[in-house]
Amino acid sequence: MPELFWLNNQITFSYFAIKIFQKSDTKMKTNALLFFALLMTSCVNKIDTKITSINHSDKIFQYSTKNGLLRNYYIGDLTVSDIKKSGDFGLGTFNMVDGEMVISNGNVYQVLTDGRINNMPSETLSPFVVTKFFNADTTFQLIGTYSLDSLKTSLSKMISSPTAVNIKANFKSLKSRSVDKVNDLSTTLEEIVAKQTIFNFSNVDGNIIGFWYPEYFDGVNFTGFHLHVLLNDLSGGGHLLDCSIENPTIELDFAPGVNVSLNLMTFK
């Protein structure tokens, strides 16, 4: 609104400038033209700045909830195309829990239990997604070797509100998992995870992609860290179980809020 008020005042002032211009001599008209040109240039620059500052929301977008998954709501109507309109970074799963989802650089990847990674087409559906247009508020490097637990301990001291976390690292060792698609909605999430396929990697480069939520979000999302991983060469990924990383680069994007969209398929 302040920008609009500023613009309206400029237009009003320009109207009176034209009236003065019509009654002025040649010298005054020349000066008036120069002033009016500068005025309009500053007005255009102001408009451009406003437009570029509203490209995307800085909030986390979430579709459905943790409790939805725990209650076997495995069918959603959110498409990959819709996901890309809400963020370029994040995690989730696909209908009937068909593998792990990793969102990186605007691509929505599916990590399957046979190790394949698919860049998913726009019509693919999801029952649960957490995503954000990632723009780091702070970037720093941790020196030394960190396990997943020690990494979480270090980062927890720096975070107090919903935050997107991107970690670039060389993995001395990496353990991740994926899960198979279920055949019916009676299978619990606990039963699905019990049959998980575990992947082990060593000396690989990749990104840890995920979020941190405070305790008061329990039920809405998984509290603490929820982290997935994707290797740079797309040879592996999934839900992060454990790792040993060296001198990781940490990027934290603190969200001013969380927009939660209900999975309306649960009401049908």
Q: Running DSSP on this structure, what letter comes out for residue 115?
A: S
Q: What is the pLDDT of residue 30?
A: 46
Q: What is the pTM of this model?
A: 0.80
Q: What are phi and psi of 33, to 5 degrees?
A: -60, -45
Q: Could you tell me the two tokens for 248?
A: 């990781």
DSSP 3-state assignment of 70? helix
DSSP 3-state assignment of 209? strand
> Mean pLDDT for each consecutive 10-residue tract of the chain (268 residues)?
33 38 48 42 35 70 97 97 98 98 98 98 98 98 98 97 98 98 96 98 98 97 98 98 98 98 80
Q: What is the pLDDT of residue 265?
A: 78
Round to whole Å and give the CA distance between 264 and 127.
10
Per the listing, tokens 């509290």 go with 223
Chain centroid to Cα 11, Å, comes to: 39
CA dihedral sign, ordered 232, 69, 99, 87: negative
Sequence spans of domains, the chain: 2-52, 60-257
Strands in the chain per DSSP E: 60-63, 78-79, 89-93, 100-104, 107-111, 117-119, 125-126, 128-132, 138-141, 145-147, 163-178, 197-213, 224-231, 237-254, 258-261
Instruction: Specify the CATH class of 60-257 in words.
Output: alpha beta
Round to whole Å and give the CA distance between 46 and 231.
42
Q: Could you tell me the two tokens for 110?
A: 């599916």
